[in-house]
Amino acid sequence: MRSIISVSHPAARLIDNRVRRASVPCVREPTRRSGRPASAGKKGKIKDQRPRKDQRSAIKEQENRNPSYLSSASHAPHQEASSIRSSHLIRRLVLSVSSNGYSNGHSANGVVCARSASHAGSWYTKSARELSKELRDWLAAAGEPMSRGARAIIAPHAGYSYCGATAAYAFKQIIPDNVRRIFILGPSHVVCLNGCALTTCAKYRTPLGDLNVDREITEELYATGHFEWMGRQDEEREHSIEMQLPFLAKIMERQPADSYTIVPVLVGSLSGNKQATYGQIFARYIEDPHTVFVVSSDFCHWGGRFHFSPYDPSSSAPIFEQIASMDKQGMDAISRLQPSHFNEYLKRTQNTICGRNPILVLLQAAEHFRQSNNHTHEMHFLRYSQSNQVRSPSDSSVSYAAGALFIHPN
Protein backbone atom coordinates (compact mmCIF):
# COMPACT_ATOMS: atom_id res chain seq x y z
CA MET A 1 0.00 0.00 0.00
CA ARG A 2 1.27 3.44 -0.91
CA SER A 3 1.83 5.56 2.16
CA ILE A 4 2.87 8.75 0.37
CA ILE A 5 0.49 11.16 -1.36
CA SER A 6 1.22 14.17 -3.50
CA VAL A 7 0.80 17.57 -1.87
CA SER A 8 -1.35 18.48 -4.87
CA HIS A 9 -3.85 15.72 -4.03
CA PRO A 10 -7.13 17.13 -2.60
CA ALA A 11 -6.56 15.07 0.53
CA ALA A 12 -3.26 16.82 1.23
CA ARG A 13 -5.18 19.77 2.58
CA LEU A 14 -7.31 17.39 4.67
CA ILE A 15 -4.17 16.10 6.37
CA ASP A 16 -2.83 19.60 6.82
CA ASN A 17 -6.10 20.85 8.31
CA ARG A 18 -6.69 17.84 10.55
CA VAL A 19 -3.10 17.93 11.86
CA ARG A 20 -3.33 21.66 12.44
CA ARG A 21 -6.50 21.17 14.49
CA ALA A 22 -4.84 18.42 16.49
CA SER A 23 -1.81 20.62 17.14
CA VAL A 24 -3.71 23.70 18.30
CA PRO A 25 -5.91 23.69 21.42
CA CYS A 26 -9.51 23.72 20.32
CA VAL A 27 -12.15 25.09 22.64
CA ARG A 28 -15.50 23.88 21.39
CA GLU A 29 -18.88 25.47 21.80
CA PRO A 30 -21.73 23.36 23.20
CA THR A 31 -22.22 20.75 20.48
CA ARG A 32 -22.35 16.99 20.68
CA ARG A 33 -19.23 14.90 20.73
CA SER A 34 -18.77 11.18 20.98
CA GLY A 35 -15.04 11.06 20.39
CA ARG A 36 -12.14 10.07 22.63
CA PRO A 37 -10.83 13.08 24.53
CA ALA A 38 -7.33 12.99 25.91
CA SER A 39 -5.45 15.29 28.27
CA ALA A 40 -1.91 15.70 29.46
CA GLY A 41 -1.10 13.59 32.49
CA LYS A 42 1.97 13.62 34.69
CA LYS A 43 5.30 14.44 33.09
CA GLY A 44 3.56 15.60 29.94
CA LYS A 45 2.35 12.13 28.97
CA ILE A 46 -0.98 11.69 27.30
CA LYS A 47 -3.59 10.31 29.63
CA ASP A 48 -6.40 8.37 27.99
CA GLN A 49 -9.72 9.56 29.37
CA ARG A 50 -11.91 7.05 27.59
CA PRO A 51 -14.53 5.43 29.84
CA ARG A 52 -13.75 2.04 31.31
CA LYS A 53 -15.44 -0.95 29.75
CA ASP A 54 -18.24 -1.02 32.34
CA GLN A 55 -18.78 2.72 31.88
CA ARG A 56 -18.90 2.36 28.10
CA SER A 57 -21.61 -0.29 28.49
CA ALA A 58 -23.66 2.05 30.65
CA ILE A 59 -23.21 4.90 28.17
CA LYS A 60 -24.24 2.68 25.28
CA GLU A 61 -27.34 1.60 27.15
CA GLN A 62 -28.24 5.22 27.81
CA GLU A 63 -27.67 6.16 24.16
CA ASN A 64 -30.11 3.49 23.04
CA ARG A 65 -32.70 4.65 25.55
CA ASN A 66 -32.30 8.35 24.78
CA PRO A 67 -30.61 9.22 21.48
CA SER A 68 -30.16 12.84 22.53
CA TYR A 69 -27.79 11.61 25.26
CA LEU A 70 -24.80 11.94 22.95
CA SER A 71 -25.03 15.71 23.08
CA SER A 72 -24.07 15.77 26.76
CA ALA A 73 -20.54 14.61 26.00
CA SER A 74 -19.45 17.89 24.53
CA HIS A 75 -20.98 20.72 26.49
CA ALA A 76 -17.84 21.31 28.51
CA PRO A 77 -14.95 22.99 26.64
CA HIS A 78 -12.01 20.68 25.98
CA GLN A 79 -8.57 20.87 24.47
CA GLU A 80 -7.09 18.51 21.91
CA ALA A 81 -3.66 17.08 22.72
CA SER A 82 -0.90 18.30 20.41
CA SER A 83 2.31 16.78 19.11
CA ILE A 84 1.88 13.11 20.06
CA ARG A 85 -1.55 12.84 18.51
CA SER A 86 -0.39 14.75 15.43
CA SER A 87 2.11 12.09 14.42
CA HIS A 88 -0.47 9.33 14.82
CA LEU A 89 -3.02 11.42 12.93
CA ILE A 90 -0.68 11.95 9.97
CA ARG A 91 -0.04 8.22 9.68
CA ARG A 92 -3.74 7.33 9.99
CA LEU A 93 -4.82 9.91 7.43
CA VAL A 94 -2.13 9.00 4.90
CA LEU A 95 -3.13 5.37 5.10
CA SER A 96 -6.80 6.30 4.88
CA VAL A 97 -6.25 8.51 1.85
CA SER A 98 -4.20 5.88 0.06
CA SER A 99 -6.94 3.26 0.51
CA ASN A 100 -10.01 5.48 0.03
CA GLY A 101 -10.41 7.76 -2.98
CA TYR A 102 -10.97 11.23 -1.51
CA SER A 103 -11.54 13.22 -4.66
CA ASN A 104 -13.88 11.16 -6.81
CA GLY A 105 -16.01 9.04 -4.48
CA HIS A 106 -14.24 5.82 -5.44
CA SER A 107 -11.86 3.57 -3.58
CA ALA A 108 -8.47 2.58 -4.93
CA ASN A 109 -9.93 -0.46 -6.71
CA GLY A 110 -12.68 1.57 -8.37
CA VAL A 111 -15.50 0.49 -6.05
CA VAL A 112 -17.98 3.28 -5.30
CA CYS A 113 -17.44 4.74 -1.84
CA ALA A 114 -20.70 4.77 0.13
CA ARG A 115 -21.43 5.98 3.65
CA SER A 116 -23.39 3.39 5.59
CA ALA A 117 -26.62 4.02 7.50
CA SER A 118 -24.59 3.74 10.70
CA HIS A 119 -27.39 4.80 13.08
CA ALA A 120 -30.05 2.49 11.65
CA GLY A 121 -31.11 -0.02 14.27
CA SER A 122 -30.49 2.36 17.19
CA TRP A 123 -31.68 5.89 16.41
CA TYR A 124 -34.33 4.60 14.00
CA THR A 125 -35.44 1.18 12.80
CA LYS A 126 -33.31 -0.60 10.21
CA SER A 127 -36.38 -2.38 8.81
CA ALA A 128 -37.31 -0.74 5.52
CA ARG A 129 -40.95 -1.76 5.89
CA GLU A 130 -41.30 -0.44 9.44
CA LEU A 131 -39.38 2.74 8.66
CA SER A 132 -41.47 3.46 5.58
CA LYS A 133 -44.68 3.06 7.56
CA GLU A 134 -43.49 5.30 10.40
CA LEU A 135 -42.45 8.04 7.99
CA ARG A 136 -45.66 7.73 5.97
CA ASP A 137 -47.80 8.06 9.10
CA TRP A 138 -45.87 11.08 10.39
CA LEU A 139 -46.01 12.81 7.01
CA ALA A 140 -49.74 12.13 6.70
CA ALA A 141 -50.33 13.64 10.15
CA ALA A 142 -48.46 16.80 9.09
CA GLY A 143 -51.27 17.81 6.71
CA GLU A 144 -50.90 19.57 3.39
CA PRO A 145 -47.94 21.74 2.32
CA MET A 146 -48.32 25.45 2.97
CA SER A 147 -47.22 26.76 -0.40
CA ARG A 148 -45.64 25.84 -3.73
CA GLY A 149 -42.72 24.29 -1.92
CA ALA A 150 -40.10 25.35 0.58
CA ARG A 151 -36.66 26.46 -0.58
CA ALA A 152 -35.18 25.42 2.76
CA ILE A 153 -36.28 23.63 5.91
CA ILE A 154 -35.03 23.30 9.49
CA ALA A 155 -35.52 19.83 10.96
CA PRO A 156 -34.33 18.06 14.15
CA HIS A 157 -31.84 15.20 14.24
CA ALA A 158 -32.58 13.19 17.39
CA GLY A 159 -33.87 9.62 17.50
CA TYR A 160 -37.10 9.31 15.54
CA SER A 161 -39.09 8.19 18.57
CA TYR A 162 -38.40 11.65 20.00
CA CYS A 163 -38.52 13.97 17.00
CA GLY A 164 -39.90 12.08 13.98
CA ALA A 165 -43.41 13.48 14.26
CA THR A 166 -42.05 17.04 14.48
CA ALA A 167 -39.55 16.63 11.64
CA ALA A 168 -42.35 15.48 9.33
CA TYR A 169 -43.89 18.96 9.38
CA ALA A 170 -40.72 20.38 7.83
CA PHE A 171 -40.27 17.66 5.20
CA LYS A 172 -43.94 17.94 4.20
CA GLN A 173 -43.12 21.39 2.80
CA ILE A 174 -40.80 19.94 0.15
CA ILE A 175 -42.52 19.33 -3.21
CA PRO A 176 -40.56 16.40 -4.69
CA ASP A 177 -41.53 17.08 -8.32
CA ASN A 178 -39.58 20.35 -8.19
CA VAL A 179 -36.39 19.02 -6.60
CA ARG A 180 -33.17 18.24 -8.45
CA ARG A 181 -30.58 18.92 -5.75
CA ILE A 182 -30.68 18.82 -1.93
CA PHE A 183 -28.04 20.43 0.26
CA ILE A 184 -27.91 19.03 3.80
CA LEU A 185 -26.16 21.24 6.36
CA GLY A 186 -25.47 19.42 9.61
CA PRO A 187 -23.57 20.59 12.69
CA SER A 188 -20.45 18.68 13.65
CA HIS A 189 -20.76 16.70 16.90
CA VAL A 190 -17.74 14.41 16.63
CA VAL A 191 -14.89 16.54 15.33
CA CYS A 192 -13.81 20.13 15.98
CA LEU A 193 -14.14 22.19 12.79
CA ASN A 194 -13.66 25.90 12.24
CA GLY A 195 -15.12 25.74 8.75
CA CYS A 196 -17.18 23.36 6.62
CA ALA A 197 -16.32 19.89 5.33
CA LEU A 198 -17.54 17.87 2.35
CA THR A 199 -18.10 14.16 1.84
CA THR A 200 -15.67 11.97 -0.05
CA CYS A 201 -18.40 9.44 -0.80
CA ALA A 202 -20.46 8.93 -3.95
CA LYS A 203 -23.52 7.56 -2.14
CA TYR A 204 -25.24 7.73 1.24
CA ARG A 205 -27.09 4.57 2.18
CA THR A 206 -30.48 4.42 3.92
CA PRO A 207 -32.76 1.44 4.66
CA LEU A 208 -35.04 2.87 1.94
CA GLY A 209 -32.33 3.01 -0.73
CA ASP A 210 -29.17 4.87 -1.65
CA LEU A 211 -28.99 8.63 -2.24
CA ASN A 212 -26.50 9.81 -4.87
CA VAL A 213 -24.01 12.51 -3.89
CA ASP A 214 -23.57 15.36 -6.37
CA ARG A 215 -19.84 14.97 -6.97
CA GLU A 216 -19.73 17.85 -9.45
CA ILE A 217 -21.13 20.38 -6.98
CA THR A 218 -19.04 18.90 -4.17
CA GLU A 219 -15.86 19.45 -6.20
CA GLU A 220 -17.09 22.90 -7.19
CA LEU A 221 -17.47 23.83 -3.51
CA TYR A 222 -14.07 22.40 -2.64
CA ALA A 223 -12.49 24.47 -5.42
CA THR A 224 -13.51 27.67 -3.61
CA GLY A 225 -10.76 26.98 -1.08
CA HIS A 226 -13.15 27.32 1.88
CA PHE A 227 -13.92 23.62 2.40
CA GLU A 228 -12.05 20.51 3.52
CA TRP A 229 -12.87 16.81 3.29
CA MET A 230 -14.57 14.87 6.06
CA GLY A 231 -12.58 12.01 7.58
CA ARG A 232 -14.36 8.74 6.89
CA GLN A 233 -14.56 7.63 10.53
CA ASP A 234 -15.91 11.01 11.62
CA GLU A 235 -18.42 10.93 8.77
CA GLU A 236 -19.71 7.51 9.82
CA ARG A 237 -20.04 8.56 13.46
CA GLU A 238 -21.79 11.87 12.78
CA HIS A 239 -25.58 11.67 13.00
CA SER A 240 -26.82 15.18 12.15
CA ILE A 241 -26.80 14.59 8.38
CA GLU A 242 -27.85 10.94 8.45
CA MET A 243 -31.03 11.62 10.43
CA GLN A 244 -32.38 13.70 7.53
CA LEU A 245 -31.82 11.02 4.91
CA PRO A 246 -34.66 8.52 5.53
CA PHE A 247 -37.16 11.39 5.37
CA LEU A 248 -35.61 12.56 2.10
CA ALA A 249 -35.65 9.04 0.67
CA LYS A 250 -39.31 8.71 1.64
CA ILE A 251 -40.56 11.99 0.16
CA MET A 252 -38.54 11.39 -3.02
CA GLU A 253 -39.54 7.72 -3.38
CA ARG A 254 -41.68 8.34 -6.49
CA GLN A 255 -38.85 10.14 -8.27
CA PRO A 256 -36.21 8.25 -10.30
CA ALA A 257 -33.09 7.74 -8.18
CA ASP A 258 -30.92 9.47 -10.78
CA SER A 259 -33.20 12.52 -11.08
CA TYR A 260 -31.85 14.25 -7.98
CA THR A 261 -28.68 14.40 -5.90
CA ILE A 262 -27.63 15.36 -2.38
CA VAL A 263 -24.78 17.57 -1.18
CA PRO A 264 -23.90 16.75 2.46
CA VAL A 265 -22.02 19.54 4.25
CA LEU A 266 -20.67 19.26 7.80
CA VAL A 267 -20.65 22.68 9.48
CA GLY A 268 -18.24 23.56 12.28
CA SER A 269 -17.98 26.49 14.66
CA LEU A 270 -17.94 29.61 12.49
CA SER A 271 -16.92 33.19 13.16
CA GLY A 272 -19.19 35.95 11.90
CA ASN A 273 -16.96 36.51 8.88
CA LYS A 274 -17.03 32.82 7.98
CA GLN A 275 -20.82 32.70 8.35
CA ALA A 276 -21.01 35.50 5.77
CA THR A 277 -18.47 33.79 3.48
CA TYR A 278 -20.34 30.50 3.41
CA GLY A 279 -23.64 32.31 3.06
CA GLN A 280 -22.35 34.08 -0.03
CA ILE A 281 -21.12 30.78 -1.48
CA PHE A 282 -24.47 29.03 -0.94
CA ALA A 283 -26.57 32.01 -2.08
CA ARG A 284 -25.98 31.12 -5.74
CA TYR A 285 -27.47 27.67 -5.11
CA ILE A 286 -30.45 28.75 -3.03
CA GLU A 287 -31.36 30.97 -5.99
CA ASP A 288 -32.17 27.83 -8.02
CA PRO A 289 -35.88 26.91 -7.57
CA HIS A 290 -34.98 23.24 -8.10
CA THR A 291 -32.63 23.25 -5.10
CA VAL A 292 -33.65 22.65 -1.48
CA PHE A 293 -31.59 23.20 1.66
CA VAL A 294 -32.14 20.97 4.68
CA VAL A 295 -30.70 22.46 7.87
CA SER A 296 -30.25 19.96 10.69
CA SER A 297 -30.74 21.29 14.20
CA ASP A 298 -32.28 20.51 17.56
CA PHE A 299 -33.18 23.40 19.85
CA CYS A 300 -32.63 23.80 23.59
CA HIS A 301 -30.65 21.08 25.40
CA TRP A 302 -31.67 21.69 29.01
CA GLY A 303 -30.37 19.98 32.15
CA GLY A 304 -27.28 19.23 34.17
CA ARG A 305 -25.90 16.75 31.64
CA PHE A 306 -25.94 19.54 29.04
CA HIS A 307 -24.40 22.07 31.45
CA PHE A 308 -27.30 24.39 30.70
CA SER A 309 -30.24 24.75 33.08
CA PRO A 310 -31.41 28.37 33.42
CA TYR A 311 -34.85 29.01 34.88
CA ASP A 312 -36.65 31.48 37.09
CA PRO A 313 -37.60 29.76 40.37
CA SER A 314 -39.84 32.70 41.27
CA SER A 315 -41.96 32.22 38.14
CA SER A 316 -45.29 30.42 38.37
CA ALA A 317 -44.60 28.85 34.96
CA PRO A 318 -43.14 25.32 35.07
CA ILE A 319 -39.62 24.91 33.72
CA PHE A 320 -40.71 23.29 30.45
CA GLU A 321 -42.83 26.35 29.65
CA GLN A 322 -39.88 28.64 30.37
CA ILE A 323 -37.76 26.52 28.00
CA ALA A 324 -40.46 26.76 25.33
CA SER A 325 -40.59 30.54 25.76
CA MET A 326 -36.83 30.81 25.26
CA ASP A 327 -36.99 28.58 22.17
CA LYS A 328 -39.86 30.63 20.74
CA GLN A 329 -37.76 33.76 21.04
CA GLY A 330 -35.10 31.94 19.01
CA MET A 331 -37.61 30.92 16.35
CA ASP A 332 -38.87 34.49 16.18
CA ALA A 333 -35.28 35.74 15.72
CA ILE A 334 -34.70 33.22 12.90
CA SER A 335 -38.01 34.17 11.26
CA ARG A 336 -36.83 37.77 10.93
CA LEU A 337 -34.28 36.41 8.42
CA GLN A 338 -31.57 38.76 9.63
CA PRO A 339 -28.44 36.95 10.87
CA SER A 340 -27.62 39.72 13.34
CA HIS A 341 -30.88 39.21 15.22
CA PHE A 342 -30.27 35.50 15.70
CA ASN A 343 -26.66 36.11 16.72
CA GLU A 344 -27.80 38.67 19.29
CA TYR A 345 -30.38 36.21 20.62
CA LEU A 346 -27.73 33.50 21.02
CA LYS A 347 -25.39 35.90 22.80
CA ARG A 348 -28.14 37.02 25.17
CA THR A 349 -29.62 33.62 26.05
CA GLN A 350 -26.70 31.22 25.38
CA ASN A 351 -29.39 28.78 24.26
CA THR A 352 -27.86 25.41 23.33
CA ILE A 353 -29.21 25.21 19.78
CA CYS A 354 -26.72 22.74 18.35
CA GLY A 355 -27.40 23.67 14.71
CA ARG A 356 -26.97 27.40 15.22
CA ASN A 357 -24.07 27.56 12.74
CA PRO A 358 -25.92 25.81 9.88
CA ILE A 359 -28.93 28.05 10.63
CA LEU A 360 -26.74 31.15 10.45
CA VAL A 361 -25.23 29.97 7.15
CA LEU A 362 -28.78 29.61 5.79
CA LEU A 363 -29.75 33.07 7.05
CA GLN A 364 -26.64 34.56 5.45
CA ALA A 365 -27.38 32.80 2.16
CA ALA A 366 -30.97 34.08 2.19
CA GLU A 367 -29.72 37.59 3.01
CA HIS A 368 -27.22 37.61 0.11
CA PHE A 369 -29.89 36.28 -2.25
CA ARG A 370 -32.44 38.86 -1.08
CA GLN A 371 -30.00 41.72 -1.62
CA SER A 372 -29.48 40.82 -5.27
CA ASN A 373 -33.00 39.69 -6.22
CA ASN A 374 -36.51 41.09 -6.02
CA HIS A 375 -38.05 38.26 -4.00
CA THR A 376 -40.11 37.90 -0.85
CA HIS A 377 -38.72 35.62 1.86
CA GLU A 378 -40.83 34.06 4.59
CA MET A 379 -39.75 31.73 7.38
CA HIS A 380 -42.48 29.81 9.19
CA PHE A 381 -42.12 27.47 12.15
CA LEU A 382 -44.75 24.79 11.92
CA ARG A 383 -44.22 22.51 14.90
CA TYR A 384 -42.46 22.46 18.25
CA SER A 385 -42.00 19.67 20.78
CA GLN A 386 -39.84 18.57 23.70
CA SER A 387 -38.47 15.15 24.59
CA ASN A 388 -39.66 15.65 28.17
CA GLN A 389 -41.66 18.21 30.13
CA VAL A 390 -39.18 19.42 32.71
CA ARG A 391 -40.64 20.28 36.10
CA SER A 392 -37.63 19.70 38.34
CA PRO A 393 -34.12 21.26 38.13
CA SER A 394 -32.72 17.72 38.22
CA ASP A 395 -34.58 16.76 35.04
CA SER A 396 -33.52 17.25 31.41
CA SER A 397 -34.95 17.61 27.93
CA VAL A 398 -34.16 18.42 24.30
CA SER A 399 -36.40 20.64 22.16
CA TYR A 400 -37.29 20.15 18.51
CA ALA A 401 -38.68 22.55 15.90
CA ALA A 402 -39.74 22.27 12.28
CA GLY A 403 -39.35 25.35 10.09
CA ALA A 404 -39.59 26.18 6.40
CA LEU A 405 -38.27 29.03 4.25
CA PHE A 406 -40.40 30.10 1.30
CA ILE A 407 -39.12 32.38 -1.47
CA HIS A 408 -41.54 34.06 -3.85
CA PRO A 409 -40.73 36.38 -6.77
CA ASN A 410 -42.43 39.78 -6.54
CATH number of domain containing 264: 3.40.830.10
Handedness of CA 378, 383, 386, 390 (dihedral sign): positive
Compute CA distances 353 → 154, 188, 266, 302, whole Å: 12, 13, 16, 10
**Rounded mean pLDDT, 139-143:** 97
Same domain membership, residue 348 and residue 402: yes
Same domain membership, residue 138 and residue 76: no
Same domain membership, residue 32 and residue 169: no
Last residue of a domain, one of 104, 134, 154: 104
| Predicted confidence band of residue 295 (pLDDT cuts 50, 70, 90) | very high
- Answer whether residue 109 is part of any domain: no
* Average confidence score pLDDT of the chain: 81
DSSP letter for 106, please.
B
Least confident residue range of 54-58, 132-136, 392-396: 54-58
Same domain membership, residue 241 and residue 337: yes
Last residue of a domain, one of 104, 133, 167: 104
Same domain membership, residue 43 and residue 95: yes
Per-residue pLDDT of 238-274, as tens digits, reads 999 999 999 999 999 999 999 999 999 999 999 999 9
Compute CA distances 363 → 11, 192, 282, 286, whole Å: 30, 22, 10, 11
Q: Note the pLDDT of residue 399.
A: 98
Q: Which residues contact 198 (CB under 8 A, 6 or more apart)?
A: 218, 221, 222, 227, 228, 229, 230, 263, 264, 265, 266
Q: Note the pLDDT of residue 382.
A: 97
- Answer whether residue 284 is part of any domain: yes
pLDDT of 13 above 70: no
User: In DSSP terms, which residues pair with 403 in a beta bridge?
Assistant: 154, 381
**Rounded mean pLDDT, 35-41:** 38
Q: Note the pLDDT of residue 373.
A: 78
Please provide the size of the chain in residues. 410
Distance CA 374, CA 324 (A): 35
| Predicted confidence band of residue 409 (pLDDT cuts 50, 70, 90) | confident
pLDDT of 21 above 50: no
pLDDT of 320 above 50: yes
- Domains contained in the chain, number: 2
- Answer whether residue 324 is part of any domain: yes
- 156 or 101, which is more confident: 156
pLDDT of 26 above 60: no
- Answer whether residue 3 is part of any domain: no
User: Sheet of 211-212: strands edge to edge?
Assistant: 114-115, 203-204, 211-212
pLDDT of 186 above 60: yes
**Rounded mean pLDDT, 68-86:** 37
- Answer whether residue 352 is part of any domain: yes
Q: Note the pLDDT of residue 148.
A: 81
pLDDT of 215 above 80: yes
| Predicted confidence band of residue 14 (pLDDT cuts 50, 70, 90) | very low
Q: Note the pLDDT of residue 155.
A: 98
Same domain membership, residue 161 and residue 15: no
**Rounded mean pLDDT, 280-285:** 96
Q: Note the pLDDT of residue 237.
A: 95
Q: Note the pLDDT of residue 41.
A: 42
- Answer whether residue 4 is part of any domain: no
Distance CA 311, CA 307 (A): 13
**Rounded mean pLDDT, 94-118:** 57
Full residue range of the structural domain in which residue 72 is found: 10-104
How many Cβ atoms from other residues are within 10 Å of residue 6's Cβ? Answer: 8
- Answer whether residue 325 is part of any domain: yes
pLDDT of 90 above 90: no
How many Cβ atoms from other residues are within 10 Å of residue 76's Cβ? Answer: 12
Q: Amino acid identity, residue 404? A: A
How many Cβ atoms from other residues are within 10 Å of residue 238's Cβ? Answer: 27
Q: Note the pLDDT of residue 106.
A: 55
pLDDT of 67 above 60: no
Asked if 149 and 291 count as a contact pair (C-beta separation under 8 A), the reply is: no
Least confident residue range of 24-28, 143-147, 213-217: 24-28
Q: Which residues contact 323 (CB under 8 A, 6 or more apart)?
A: 300, 302, 311, 386, 390, 397, 399
Same domain membership, residue 95 and residue 226: no
Backbone angles phi, psi at 312, to 5 degrees: -105, 105
Same domain membership, residue 372 and residue 249: yes
Q: Note the pLDDT of residue 374.
A: 75
Q: Note the pLDDT of residue 410.
A: 73
| Predicted confidence band of residue 105 (pLDDT cuts 50, 70, 90) | low
Handedness of CA 129, 133, 134, 135 (dihedral sign): positive
Last residue of a domain, one of 104, 138, 154: 104
Per-residue pLDDT of 356-367, as tens digits, reads 999 999 999 999
